[in-house]
Amino acid sequence: MWTVIYIASTARMADMLQSRLTEEGFLVKIRPVNMSKQQFEILVPSGELEEVQEVLNSLLHP
């Protein structure tokens, strides 16, 4: 089961987050939400949610 952890406003942001989280050892998927608005869901396995949230917070709020 995959859980949405973040909605990126650009493809570039989604790719950057995917790369950084993958470097940390997490499985990450990107899924377009609304092509007209160019929003992308960042999804992670439900079992890794808490760990990923900590890393994501450090990436978004250094």
Q: Tell me what pLDDT residue 55 has.
A: 95
pLDDT tens per residue across span 9-52 = 999 999 999 999 999 999 999 999 977 788 999 999 999 999 99
- φ, ψ (nearest 5 deg) of residue 21: -70, -35
d(CA 41, CA 32): 6
Question: Which CA distances in Å does 50 have to 17, 24, 34, 53, 59?
Answer: 16, 14, 26, 5, 15
Single-letter residue type at 8: A
> Rounded CA gap, 33 and 6, in Å?
11
